[in-house]
A and B are shown apart, each in its own frame.
Chain A
Amino acid sequence: MSKNTVSDRFRKVDVDEYDENKFVDEEDGGENQGGPDEAEVDGLLRQYPSATGGPEGLGARERPGGERAELLVVKVLSSFKSSDIEKAVGSLDKAGVDLLMKYIYRGFEKPSDNSSAVLLQWHEKALAVGGVGSIVRVLTARKTV
């Protein structure tokens, strides 16, 4: 009988893996696509200091992932003049406004220097266009930026 109780390998079995009712998340791995080319965006910024192509450009490309993209977006958003923000938000379509909101909230999570103030200005303008619905979509979206 003591032979039976010697091994404790059973303690390492993950019982939950064998549960037939276990919820398996059907996420397509769309989170690990390459981010926008940093050099390219920097070049664009230098050429057009008051460009309104920032958020749209990012939205048109495939959804970028990773921290690099986040920092890049905050840099782009900070480079806009306060008076241009409203025009930029106005030029976005509904999906663009939702994507912008997602980046704004990601930017809030990691504040740096002056980023929060700039992001708050963007938030105010984006909220005027997207309404609370766009914030709800930031919270319910499965694919985070």
Chain B
Amino acid sequence: MSLYSFGLEPLSCHAWNKDRTQIAVSPNNNVVNIYEKKGKDWVKIHELTEHSGRITGIDWAPESNRIVTCASDRNAYVWTMKDGLWKPTLVLVRINRAATCVKWSPLENKFALGSGARLISVCYFEKENDWWLSKHIKKPIRSTILSLDWHPNNILLAAGSADLHCRVFSAYIKDIEDKPGPTAWGAKMPFGEVLLEQKDCGGWVHSVSFSPSGDQLACVTHSSSVIVVDAAQSKQVTQLTTEHLPMLSVLHVSPTELMAAGHDSCPYQFTYKGPGTLKFVKKLDIPKQTSKGSMSAMQHFRNLDKRATEDDSNELDTLHQNSITQLCVVSGEKTKVEKFSSVGLDGAMVIWEFKH
């Protein structure tokens, strides 16, 4: 477990490059900073400053080395590296509200953008006119899209929304790819087709994650619950309500293990082995050894008087001192993740190790 602090500003989002030597983060403003690892420190090497609104999503495509960023200024840019500098290309997403999240597809030939305009914009590059085009998925979304995740087949897209529903859409674009074969979620997949509509998950769906095979979909909601929909078992739904504060991000680290983190500032591990078997496993953080220096009796009673507690420290006993906003895989295959990273509102990035 290693912690690195990027300053005092909250980190809204982050993305890694292919070999994990560079990280792109945004300190809650309209700028994306790219840091490179030099020894134990991270040194800022680039600053991407095209957006005029707060950056809400960053994704870095490992193979094609392109970065896509989206912000509350209703725009998205695709950045490509030219002569040692990142050059932006505007994407015509045609939304009239802020963009909230963005994700490259597994084959990196398109990306999906969620927005407050109650629609998902699936964008692809058109070679003839040399620009990025977008197709909209509107029905039946009733509110802001909060999170997106692609299925390994590059066609299906899961979306968690503020209208309390979790849905799986088809994002098949016939101009750029072949017809997909049938999956456990369905056989007919024209663009915009809804293959799953999980109604009323209890709260806003903050994060969704497909399992490595794509047959299970996990989501975390604002009602402090984790929901898993199993397509391989006829779309059976298993819900687990937790005693923790709501989680903001969920990640599959193996076909059966889930990692979720959020307002409790530390990652929790859950396990899913089939319908009805969703269970909490453990909390990943190791509590700090609080060095209780000798406190005078006077100090003791002064604390009791002022704060109603004998504890002198103001810190949380977790590594992150504030909510975790995003989890990301760092090393290991999707089926056997070895390390994952978390960024939070405290401006810190922590790399966690996971032992299977």
Query: Which residues of A line the B interface, CB within 8 A?
Result: 21, 23, 94, 98, 130-134, 136-137, 140-142
Contacts and interface: CB of A to CB of B under 8 A. Distances in A.
A27 to B, nearest CB: 10
Interface residues of B, number: 17
A89 to B, nearest CB: 13
B308 to A, nearest CB: 16
A104 B245 CA distance: 19
A131 B203 contact: no
A137 B246 CA distance: 10
Contacts of B202: 137, 140-141
30 contacts: A21-B118, A23-B143, A94-B241, A130-B243, A131-B242, A131-B244, A132-B224, A132-B243, A132-B244, A132-B245, A133-B224, A133-B241, A133-B242, A133-B243, A133-B245, A134-B243, A136-B222, A136-B223, A136-B245, A137-B202, A137-B223, A137-B224, A137-B225, A137-B241, A140-B202, A140-B203, A140-B223, A141-B202, A142-B164, A142-B200
A133 B203 CA distance: 12
Q: Is the interface of A mostly helix, strand, loop or mixed?
A: helix
A23 B118 CA distance: 11
Contacts of A130: 243
Contact of A141 (B118, B223, B244, B246): B223
B142 interface: yes
Contacts of B245: 132-133, 136
A132 B224 CA distance: 9
B190 to A, nearest CB: 24
Contact of B224 (A21, A136, A142): A136
Contacts of A94: 241
Given A136-B224, A142-B200, 12 more contacts: A98-B241, A131-B244, A132-B224, A132-B245, A133-B225, A133-B241, A133-B242, A133-B244, A137-B223, A140-B203, A140-B222, A141-B202
Contacts, number: 41
B255 to A, nearest CB: 26
Interface in B215-254: 222-225, 241-246
B331 to A, nearest CB: 32
A23 B164 CA distance: 13
Contacts of A133: 224-225, 241-245
A129 B245 CA distance: 14
Interface core residue of A98, A132, A136 (most chain B CB under 10 Å): A136
Contacts of A142: 164, 200
Contacts of A131: 242-244
Contacts of A141: 202, 223
Nearest to B245: A132
Nearest to B118: A21
A28 to B, nearest CB: 10
B93 to A, nearest CB: 18
Interface core residue of B118, B143, B203 (most chain A CB under 10 Å): B203
Contacts of B118: 21
Nearest to A137: B223
Which 3 residue pairs are nearest across A and B when measured between Cβ atoms?
A131-B243, A133-B224, A133-B243
A46 B143 CA distance: 50
Contacts of A140: 202-203, 222-223
Contacts of A136: 203, 222-224, 245-246
A25 to B, nearest CB: 9
Nearest to A21: B118
A130 B243 CA distance: 6
A132 B244 CA distance: 6
A96 to B, nearest CB: 12
Nearest to B164: A142
Interface string B148-178: 0000000000000000100000000000000
Contacts of A134: 241, 243
